[in-house]
Amino acid sequence: MYFLYILRCADDTLYTGITNDIENRMKTHKEGKGSKYLRGRMPFIIVHIEEFPDRSTASKRESEVKSLSKFEKLKLISI
pLDDT digit string, tens, across residues 14-66: 999 999 999 999 999 999 888 889 988 999 999 999 999 999 999 999 999 99
Q: How is domain 2-77 classified at the CATH fold level? A: GIY-YIG endonuclease (3.40.1440)
Nearest residue to 17 via CA among 47, 53, 43: 47
SS (H, E, C) 28-58: HHHCCCCCHHHHCCCCEEEEEEEEECCHHHH
User: Does residue 79 have a pLDDT over 80?
Assistant: no
Cα–Cα distance for residue pair 67/73, rounded to 1 Å? 9
Which pLDDT belongs to residue 35? 87
pTM: 0.91
Which pLDDT belongs to residue 63? 97
Residue 38 CB coordination number (10 Å): 21
Which pLDDT belongs to residue 34? 81
Which pLDDT belongs to residue 47? 96
Q: Write down the domain spans for the chain.
A: 2-77
Cα–Cα distance for residue pair 78/74, rounded to 1 Å? 6
